[in-house]
Structure 1
């Protein structure tokens, strides 16, 4: 499971285009399959199970500024704490 986190500035809307996107939202786990729509309001703790397969997901945020977030976070040598802090996201304690 990816580290649970909270977006403080934006809502996130996701449309699962293909595959299964396993999510943990407010400590409840579910699988969003192709055709599913997931809305995560700002302030809602969530994470993705990155260990189980892959999915193609269209993700939309309400505020600009996260366009480069995935590339920054996963670039070689990236400091995750600095990247998420700059984007208004904070990690929370997992279960």
Structure 2
């Protein structure tokens, strides 16, 4: 995997409708207080794997968690999401 560039919300949704999987890299607090994406209209459930913990502490298990939860390298595209784009870019590059 590699970072393929920024997407508009419409472009991201189109990819999800075509079988891509959303990886939400926000914190558990953000999921609880802001909410989680509703992807019921797509064929795949989102993955919830924090890139960092509260206070900006990196998640040392991010790659392991992603590897365990994402489909094996079958060509399924992953779309990364965070609040500002910075964590999702870093996560996509690391993936």
Compare the two structures and name the one with the higher helix fraction: 2
- What TM-score do the two structures reach when normalised by structure 2? 0.27
- What TM-score do the two structures reach when normalised by structure 1? 0.27
